[in-house]
Amino acid sequence: MAEGARPVVEVTPTVGGLDFESWVCPAPLREIPSIVMGHGGGGAMSGELVEHLFLPAYGSAAARELGDSAVLPFGGGRLAFSTDSYVVKPMFFPGGSIGDLAVNGTVNDLAMSGAKPLFLSTAFILQEGTELGELGRVAEAIGAAARAAGVQLVTGDTKVVERASGDGVYVNTSGIGVVPDGVDIGPRRARPGDAVIVSGDIGVHGVAVMSCREGLEFGTTVESDTAPLHGLVAAMIATGARLRALRDPTRGGVAASLNEIARASSVGIDLVERELPIPQTVRDACSLLGLDPLQVANEGKLLAIVPAESADEVLAAVRAHPMGRSARRIGTCVAEHSGMVVARTALGGTRVVGLPIGEQLPRIC
Amino acid sequence: MKYLDEFSDPELAGKLLDQIHAATTRPWAMMEVCGGQTHSIIRHGIDQLLPDGIELIHGPGCPVCVTPLEIIDRALAIAARPGVIFCSFGDMLRVPGSSQDLFAVKSAGGDVRVVYSPLDALNLARQNPDREVVFFGIGFETTAPANAMTVHQAKRLGVPNFSLLVSHVLVPPAIAAIMESATCRVQAFLAAGHVCSVMGTAEYPSLAAKYQVPIVVTGFEPLDILEGIRRTVLQLEAGRHEVENAYPRAVRDEGNIPAMAMLRDVFEVTDRTWRGIGTIPRSGWRLSGKYREFDAEERFEVTGIHTAESALCRSGEVLQGLIKPHECAAFGKECTPRNPLGATMVSSEGACAAYYTYRRLELVDAK
């Protein structure tokens, strides 16, 4: 490799007067008087909605942070509690359906705090005119996924909205799990020197869904990776390593999850692009559409931040589990460029891996 | 597409970089015309690996970035009308008009849809005969053939409720306009490979001769770009100014003859305003008289909408290569991808967005 790659400069997100927080302003949600699709994209706009609208409105009734799941003290132990809504279109896609996502998504949000998921609720919002056969297939998928994950469906609700007010089937699931003693996992716990591990191929779910989206149908062998991950997390915990942070990189992909960890922990994260496990089919689809695989959703993968001395042992445990056969160490937490994720490119340059803003938009050409 | 990996091979890239370093004896400034190339250069860190004396000036070849504000405002006005289905490629939805973007129109109840081909919009028109379906046809010579084919099909099939909002622009007149500028520093061009795959290279020898600049047709993968730069440096160092094709797997000198015939039938050359640059004579296409009935601007009577740019935004100078994105006072402050003042900060192919997204580490030093 020719020399010439410049050294990385240490910065904080607002050094030099540059607003690299991508706009934090005292006037909430300026410029946009109503909800746009980007507010649900899992990127910067979603975060702003929470920070500038929900949290001020909730005031003292809200916990300090509204994460994917909350760990709550209860009866001498700790419960994990999480809720998530599912509005995926189309409802059925290669490798799964909205029913699989509704169970596995909430199970995984609980698992990322180290919890063993136990109970789920299911709440449906149905559009008038939805075929019962379709709803039945979703319900069967929910039942099968819950049995596979070993969780019980214990309560629920059903509402119907007029034909023009919805779009098929929306599902909300909330879940409760128990956090084992001694487990202390959270996005603020990453430290410089820690290893960054991903449990397998990235971008698969997003590409599977896009491949059958109206107007975009393209032939692919990619199937969604939707799967429950609490067994994999239990195997990691069983190594005795002190896991720092876990995230399942769903909306916004690996980029969003690692940016959130970097900011919450005030560390930088260095990625090695060549180590990223991106299947050729995902590369090709993203190349065609002008999307970044790091920003594409996953539904059966996790990111783990672990102390360097435990990295090999944890990686071996992940690879020994059926859900982690192609796990890789993809990077390191560093003291430099706090709050930012930087990738070393295959050619030897560097680039910042940013938080997606809103919806990923396919490019024109 | 597995072969694409071969065009990112680090070992081969290293060899090309060594040759570029060995060949470079003095500073040179070259412009990559296409926004796709800008994105690739910044995304892969290619500019960081070149000799210090090689300056890449980022050209005006991002179709999103150069679409004029008044066309965006006309699109917003059409999209907001009841009974209209407004179809666009995805990355036009976030481009700011003078007061909002297409996402905001959609949020307010407008039927705005992302499509992946103009033919999808034509199908929508046939499926919804009681609605007016408009496709936002922007871009360079690369996207124009599909738009031309769609309008041709609309006429052939008799689909009266389909129309095209056209803002096509052409590369060769832009190269000429850049070279005619009193402040021009460009000594060579990496020509846009995909444009040439449609139009061929016939228009470039006269430009190379008139302005004494090498023009090297270049692709988009890392090795394509490095090979384009290598050949450009060799020409500059030898004092040559020729047209070379460094992208032969996609570009033939004669271009895509059936596509060009379709373009001549459906479009006619017109003056075009380029966002941030101004009007360049005979630098765009509009629908020819034979197809004028499908012109959305006339159908919806929005030709009277004229709007002004933000006074803070210096995207015009960025698009002409006069300043780097971070040399604009608004960069990273009033203007971010989250809240863009100009289109160069919106599109992932815009130079400002590419710098903001991938180059924040170094730019702090530069401020």
Q: What is the distance in angstroms between the CA of the first residue and the CA of the last residue of chain A? A: 31
Mean pLDDT of chain A: 86
Which alpha helices (DSSP H) does chain A contain, by range? 44-49, 55-58, 98-111, 132-149, 204-210, 230-238, 253-265, 280-289, 311-319
**Distance in Å, alpha carbon of A82 to nearest chain B alpha carbon:** 29
pLDDT confidence tier of residue A34, bands split at 50, 70 and 90: confident
Q: Of B115, B357, B363, which is closest to A215 when you measure between CB atoms?
A: B115
Task: Tell me the per-residue pLDDT of A66-92, one tens digit each, with 9 for 90 and over.
Answer: 677 899 999 999 999 999 999 988 899
Pick B14's closest partner by Cβ from A1, A34, A365: A1
Q: Within a 10 A sphere around the Cβ of B226, how many other Cβ atoms?
A: 27
Residue A13 binned pLDDT confidence (cut-offs 50, 70, 90): very low
Q: Count of residues for chain A? A: 365
DSSP state letters, A70-107: EEEEETTEEEEEEEEEE--SSSEETTEEHHHHHHHHHH
* Chain A: closest CA distance from residue B102 (Å): 10
A340 vs B contacts (CB less than 8 Å): 360-361
Distance, in Å, from the CA atom of A355 to the CA atom of B344, rounded to the nearest integer, reads: 19
Give B42's contacts in chain A (Cβ within 8 Å): 351
Phi-psi region of B323 (alpha: psi -120 to 50; beta: other; left: phi over 0): beta
Task: Report how many Cβ contacts below 8 Å link chain A to chain B.
Answer: 175
- DSSP letter, residue A53: I
Residue of A24, A29, A361 best to disrupt the B interface, most CBs of B under 10 A? A361
Contacts of A285 in chain B (CB under 8 A): none
Q: Report the pLDDT value the prediction gives residue B313, as an integer from 0 to 100.
A: 86
pLDDT, greater one: A132 or B95: A132
Q: Which residue of B has its CA nearest to A13?
A: B360
Q: Which residues of A touch B109 (CB under 8 A)?
A: none
Question: pLDDT digit string (tens) for A246-271?
Answer: 999 998 899 999 999 999 999 999 99
Say yes or no to pLDDT of A19 above 60: no
Contact across the interface for A347 and B45, Cβ inside 8 Å: yes
Cross-chain Cβ contact A364/B338 below 8 Å: no
pLDDT at B106 over 80: yes
Write out the two tokens for A263: 């900011």
Check B348 against A15: CB less than 8 A apart.
no
Tell the burial category of B202 from Cβ atoms under 10 Å away from its Cβ (0-12, 13-18, 19+). middle
- Centre a 10 Å sphere on the Cβ of residue B214 and count the other Cβ atoms it contains: 25
Q: How confident is the model at residue A2 (pLDDT cuts 50, 70, 90)?
A: very low
Which residue, B9, B49, B13, B37, is CA-closest to B354? B37
Question: B346 CB contacts (<8 Å, ≥6 apart)?
Answer: B64, B65, B91, B94, B95, B96, B337, B340, B353
**Residue percentage of chain B with pLDDT more than 70:** 96
Contact criterion met (CB below 8 Å) for B281 and B271:
yes
Alpha helices in B50-170 (DSSP H): 63-66, 69-79, 102-107, 118-127, 144-157
Give the C-alpha separation, B122 to B342, whole Å. Answer: 30
Query: Which residues in B lie closer than 8 A to residue A350 (C-beta atoms)?
Result: 45, 48, 361
The SS3 assignment for A155 reads strand
Residues B135 and B149: beta-carbon distance below 8 Å: no
Residue A25 has a pLDDT of: 25
pLDDT at B18 over 70: yes
Residue range A319-332, pLDDT digits in tens: 999 999 999 999 99
* Residue A362: per-residue pLDDT: 62
Q: What is the pLDDT of residues A112-127, one digit of tens each?
A: 999 999 999 999 999 9
3-state secondary structure of A261: helix
Task: State how far residue A26 is from chain B, nearest Cα, in angstroms.
Answer: 14
How much is the average pLDDT of A347-360?
A: 82
DSSP-assigned letter for residue B331: B
Token pair 């936002």 in the structure block, residue:
B136
Q: What is the mean pLDDT of residues B100-108?
A: 89
Q: Which of B64, B339, B360 sits opposite A23 (nearest CB)?
A: B339
Closest CA to A112 of A70, A141, A160, A56: A70
Quick one: which H or E segment has residue B198? helix B193-199
When scoring A213, A338, A365 by the number of chain B Cβ atoms within 10 A, the one with the most, hence best to mutate, is A365
Strand partners, B169: B284
Measure CB to CB from residue A19 to each of B332, B362, B365 and give the nearest one. Answer: B332
Q: Which residues from chain A sit within 8 angstroms of residue B122, using beta carbons?
A: none
- pLDDT score for B5: 64
Banded model confidence at residue B362, pLDDT cuts 50, 70, 90: low
The angle, 0 to 180 degrees and rounded to 10, between the axes of the packed helices A311-319 and A230-238 is 140
Q: Which residue among A36, A337, A364 sits closest to B91, beta carbon to beta carbon?
A: A364
Work out the burial of residue B35: count CB atoms within 10 Å of its CB; fewer than 13 is exposed, 13-18 middle, 19 or more buried.
buried
Q: What residues pair up with B133 in beta bridges, in sequence order?
A: B85, B162
Residue A245: Cβ within 10 Å count: 26
Using alpha carbons, select from A227, A228, A222 the residue that is nearest to residue A204: A222
Q: Mean pLDDT over residues B300-306, rounded?
A: 89
SS3 B5: helix
Are A94 and A208 spatial neighbours (Cβ–Cβ below 8 Å)? yes
Distance CA B340, CA B325 (A): 13
**Which pLDDT score, from 0 to 100, does residue A16 have?**
36
Do the chains contact at A215 and B347, CB–CB below 8 Å?
no
3-state secondary structure of A270: strand
Selecting from B10, B21, B332 the residue whose C-beta is nearest the C-beta of A20 gives B332
Whole-number pLDDT of residue A361? 63
Beta-bridge mates of residue A119: A152, A176
Q: Which of the four pLDDT bands, split at 50, 70 and 90, describes residue A364?
A: low
- β-pair partners for A161: A127
Q: Return the pLDDT at B200.
A: 97
**CA A222-A172-A355 angle, 5° bins:** 60
CA-CA distance, B352 to B319, in Å (whole number)?
10
Q: Measured between beta carbons, which residues in chain B are less than 8 angstroms from residue A280?
A: 1-2, 5
Average pLDDT over residues A48-64: 85
Residue A65: pLDDT band with limits 50, 70, 90? low
Across the interface, whether the CB atoms of B10 and A19 are under 8 A apart is answered no
pLDDT over 70, % of chain A:
85
pLDDT, one tens digit per residue, over A212-235 is 876 666 666 789 999 999 999 999
Question: Which residues make Cβ contacts (< 8 Å) with residue B231, sequence separation at least 6?
Answer: B214, B216, B244, B246
Alpha carbon dihedral A313, A315, A317, A321, in 10-degree steps, equals -170
Chain A, nearest residue to B330 by Cα: A18
Cα separation, A342 vs A53, in Å, equals 30
- pLDDT on residue A21: 31
Which among B93, B363, B364 has the least Cβ separation from residue A361?
B93
Query: Least CB-CB distance to A1: which of B10, B114, B138?
Result: B10
Instruction: Please state whether beta strands A69-74 and A77-86 pair in parallel, antiparallel, or not at all (unpaired).
Output: antiparallel
Name the residue among A5, A215, A363 with its Cβ closest to that of B120. A215
Residue A50 is classified by DSSP as I
Q: Look up residue B76 and give its amino acid.
A: L
Average pLDDT over residues A199-223: 82
Residue A241 pLDDT > 70: yes
- B348–A290 C-beta distance less than 8 A: yes
pLDDT tens figures, B119-178:
999 999 999 999 999 999 999 999 999 999 999 999 999 999 999 999 999 999 999 998
> What are the beta bridge partners of residue A355?
none
Strands A328-334, A195-198: pairing kind: antiparallel
Structural tokens at position A365: 């050409």
- Backbone dihedral region of A297: left (phi > 0), alpha (psi from -120 to 50 degrees) or beta? beta
pLDDT of residue B363: 59
What are the pLDDT digits (tens) for B35-70? Answer: 889 989 988 999 999 999 999 998 888 888 888 889
Kindly identify which residue of chain A lies nearest to residue B331, measuring between CA atoms: A18
What residues of A are in contact with residue B18 (Cβ under 8 Å)? 2
pLDDT at A26: 25
Which residues from chain A sit within 8 angstroms of residue B337, using beta carbons? 22, 357
Contact between chains at A35 and B143 (C-beta distance less than 8 A): no
Among B180, B233, B238, residue whose Cα is nearest residue B207: B180
Instruction: Give the residue, A106 or A212, on which the prediction is more confident.
Output: A106
CA distance B336 to A16: 15
Determine the length of chain B: 367
Kindly indicate the confidence band of residue A7, based on its pLDDT and cuts at 50, 70 and 90: very low
CA A196 → CA A67, A262, A271, A338, distances in Å?
A: 20, 11, 8, 15
**By CA distance, what is A216's nearest residue in B?**
B116
Pair of tokens at residue A173: 């699931």
